[in-house]
Chains A and B, each alone.
Chain A
Amino acid sequence: MRLTILAGYLGAGKTTWLRHQRHIGNFVPAHVIVNEAAGIPVDDALLTGAQVLAGGCCCCAGKEAFRTALHQRADLSSRGMPQDVVIETSGLADPASILEMIRTDPLLRHHFTLEPTTVLVDALHARDQLMSDALARRQITVADRIILTKVDQASRSDIQLLLGLLQRLAPMARIEGSHMGEPYPLPSASAFVGDLPDTANDPLPQAHTLHMPADMNWTAFGVWLSALLHARGRDIMRVKGVIRTPAGRLLVQTVRGIVQKPEVIPKTSHAIDNHLVFIGRGYDTDRLEQSFRKFARL
């Protein structure tokens, strides 16, 4: 069975890309495993039929659950039902430790052949992340195939600089462009000059789930979140969740201070309402709760 690891930083567009690939017939009929670092799955609302492993990153806390899931696929294969597997890792995952786990587990090594490790890179934010964040760098360095997403929104010169940086970090990787999952042409790289700053003291981002009380008000919440993202957009890397509003259930997603247009999601989705996952660093989660309770209610 073929096994593809799809990694990428928080909000790089992994689910969007995979959703489109499956729509056009790639990775079908593969079995999709989605890993979420936080306890509340959201991506399964977007990827139908995916197996969700929530509550721990598959490279550390959720490693054994993940190993068990792969053993089950191997077991099915020995009973004559092989199916390729695609793993969408959480944005906090270090793909190297997943690769190591698969390579060192005798059962998994026997059943799976690894496809090129695919890492999605956000053309808008990746340069900042790569300059400052050890995790973003670790993800790039193990990539066999790098897919640049949101290429249409970034300027040509920014993309050229980013390509230069990516080539420096992962000289062997094949780099492609993508726009909503469709191939997108890339300009030529401009060479990266200078040294990369040291990231050894960089704290790793933490996930925290906010449980919305019944008296939460969507409008008040919007005022609070917009202020928070303006003040802390660099530290709050990702916010994701489904919130009940007068207009229906809204999927709210942000990446580094930029809010995606909230999507109304169908009633049938299994995403849990009124839970919001915050991934970030540099703030106290008790303070976040306190501030939320003070400002997001009437």
Chain B
Amino acid sequence: MCNACGFPERPGAWTEAGAASLHDRLRARLVQGDIANRMLGPHGLSARDAGPVPGIMLSTRTGAAVLVPDLPTLWAEAARLLGAPVDPLDPRLCD
């Protein structure tokens, strides 16, 4: 368990594959936030890289924030906040 962030060590989500170097990983974290926001934004949520601690910070418009370890957890948490999953095939998001 990490003292700073409270997350136990974990094997890593599948979405983290494909970035071998430090440079790639850093870039991947920025891209992740950007793409996630395209889907979360219209629902009034936003995600950003948590910075010094591992994980993604998911925030609502009213300022409530939750730190999640990876993307699969991010979508589960967003669904909990919204009452329905964020569906990339939702016409309101795709058009």
Q: Does B5 contact A (CB under 8 A)?
A: no
Cα distance, A284 to B76, chains bound together (Å)? 23
For residue A268, give the distance in angstroms from its CB to the closest CB of chain B: 20
How many residues of A sit at the interface, in one of the four size bands?
Answer: 35 or more
Q: Are A226 and B75 in contact (CB under 8 A)?
A: yes
**Given the contacts A224-B35, A246-B18, A231 and B71 also touching, CB distance less than 8 Å:** no
How many residues of B sit at the interface, in one of the four size bands?
Answer: 20 to 34
For residue B36, give the distance in angstroms from its CB to the closest CB of chain A: 5
Q: Are A262 and B31 in contact (CB under 8 A)?
A: no
Cα distance, A250 to B14, chains bound together (Å)? 11
Q: Give the residues in chain B near A231, CB-CB below 8 Å.
A: 75, 79, 85-89
Cα distance, A224 to B90, chains bound together (Å)? 13
Q: Does A247 contact B (CB under 8 A)?
A: yes
Cα distance, A222 to B74, chains bound together (Å)? 13
Chain B interface secondary structure, helix, strand, loop or mixed?
Answer: helix
Cα distance, A21 to B8, chains bound together (Å)? 37
Q: Does B2 contact A (CB under 8 A)?
A: no
Q: Are B15 and A227 in contact (CB under 8 A)?
A: no
Q: Does A223 contact B (CB under 8 A)?
A: yes
Q: Does A79 contact B (CB under 8 A)?
A: no
From residue 80 to 94 of chain B, which have CB atoms closer than 8 A to chain A?
Answer: 85-89, 91, 93-94
| Residue contacts A-B, CB under 8 angstroms, 7 given | A218-B18, A223-B39, A227-B39, A230-B72, A247-B19, A259-B14, A287-B89
Chain B interface (Cβ within 8 Å of chain A)? 13-15, 17-21, 24, 27-28, 31-32, 34-36, 38-39, 71-72, 74-76, 79, 85-89, 91, 93-95
Q: Across the A-B interface, give the 9 residue pairs with the lowest CB-CB distance, nearest first.
A: A245-B18, A230-B75, A222-B15, A231-B87, A247-B20, A231-B85, A223-B35, A262-B17, A226-B71
